[in-house]
Amino acid sequence: MLILNVVGARPNFMKIGPLVKEMRHRDLPQVLVHTGQHYDENLSRQFFDQLGIPKPDINLQVGSASQAVQTAEIMRCFEPVVVECHPDLVLVVGDVNSTMACALVAAKFCIPVAHVEAGLRSFDRTMPEEINRIVTDAVSDLLFVSEPSGIQNLKREGVPDHKIHFVGNVMIDSLLEHRKAAEESKILERLNLAATNRYALVTLHRPSNVDEPEKLRGLLEALAELTQDLPVIFPMHPRTRNKAIEASLQLELDRLIVTEPLGYLDFLHLMSAAAVVITDSGGVQEETTVLGVPCLTVRENTERPATVEQGTNRLVGSDPAHLLRSVRTVLQGDRSPSRLPELWDGKAAQRIVEVLLRQDWRKH
């Protein structure tokens, strides 16, 4: 049985890492395809070394483009790979354009598709990722779910029970595996902050927060104001940086500790010791839940409700004044108790590979 594993963008690497490792451990033949949706050192290359992922066997080098052009380009480049490799299964992770594009190509060749992180729904179709999630799940044969809401969502959409496998969260497999190594990171020293310093950590890159200049201005002003309370570290996604420069927001940026996007171990180190994390990232909502660090999510909704119901996550929306008030409340020590969501125990990849090896999915 040959499995074709697909990655494309930053949040995919933490998800594929444990799977590639477990497949190797169980002698499951695999080919790793990188679509090149993210391609530079900061958003792609450094993660392979840090997460111990082998160099991709194939790189499609699609690069950046509009939603439609990028999706089309991935499909165009991935089709001949499928023809040549003739895999028994194509495995995709997460909710980026590569996830949906490669799932569609495989489905049209009638090759079974496995989707890792299936069933998550924000119920907000203005998010490109929501469209990717819905389409990918609709053409997948094996739906690996990370939290109970995913099971309910898939059942509501009519997915038969035998396709749904509740296995836990591969992103948390990575976090638990690399937590110890992340303790050694010297990132705080590099940023001229002592280990004793309290600080806030920020990531923002969703189009809904950064694409409109006035919205971005409001959020950056709130963060600049927050620096009166504590240092604010902002590893900035290139999309956000470009939009901030276009909107002439350099003054606000100058008050923050702005860095390039960080490597996984440095970022994990910063998250673990932060007084508060402010984010619109999906993965960061999950990671802070496991680390027990308060997380304020600058969105109206989340496709990961377990992080709110059981974890440390709170949805605060994108009103700057409300964001600032919420951060200050958290800093005053208002920490609600949190629990680990079910099966976020570091063994999700093992469970997934177990299902793949059973091969009973081939019967349907």
How distant, in Å, are the alpha carbons of 168, 221, 262, 349 from that of 249?
Answer: 40, 9, 22, 42
Q: Is 205 a catalytic residue?
A: yes
Which C-beta is closer to ligand UDP: that of 141 or that of 287? 287
* 3-state SS class at 229: coil
Q: Which residue has the tokens 């052009």?
A: 69
Tell me the two tokens of residue 133. Answer: 């999630």
Binding residues for ligand UDP, rule: CB under 6 A, are 10-11, 14, 203, 235, 261-262, 264, 267, 281-284, 287
Q: Which is nearer to ligand UDP, 262 or 306 (CB)?
A: 262
At residue 170, the 3 state secondary structure works out as: helix
Is-contact 244 253, C-beta < 8 A?
yes
Residue 302's SS3 state is coil
Of residues 82 and 316, the one with the C-beta less far from ligand UDP:
316
- Work out how close the CB of 109 gets to ligand UDP at its nearest, in angstroms, rounded to a whole number: 27
Q: What is the C-alpha separation between 237 and 204, in angstroms, rounded?
A: 7
Q: Which two tokens stand for residue 220?
A: 């950056």
Say how many CA atoms lie within 13 Å of 14 toward its Cβ: 27
CB-CB neighbours of 350 under 10 Å? 17
Residue with tokens 């020293």: 189
Name the residue nearer to ligand UDP (CB basis): 57 or 124: 124
Kindly state the smallest distance separating residue 11's Cβ from ligand UDP, in Å. Answer: 3
Rank residues 165 and 269 by Cβ distance to ligand UDP and give the closer one: 269
Which structure tokens are listed for 94? 């997460």
Strands 164-166 and 142-145: parallel
Q: Among residues 8 and 261, whose Cβ is nearest to ligand UDP?
A: 261
The rounded distance, in Å, linking the Cα atoms of 49 and 53 is 6
Instruction: Point out the catalytic residue in the list 205, 237, 322, 364.
Output: 205
What is the spatial distance between Cα 25 and Cα 27, in angstroms, rounded to a whole number?
Answer: 6
Q: Rounded to the nearest 5°, which phi and psi values hold at 124?
A: -130, 95
**In this structure, what is the dihedral angle of CA atoms 221, 227, 228, 231, given to the nearest 10 degrees?**
180
Residue 167's φ and ψ, nearest 5 degrees, are -120, -10
Q: Which is nearer to ligand UDP, 4 or 120 (CB)?
A: 120
Q: Which residues are marked as active site? A: 205
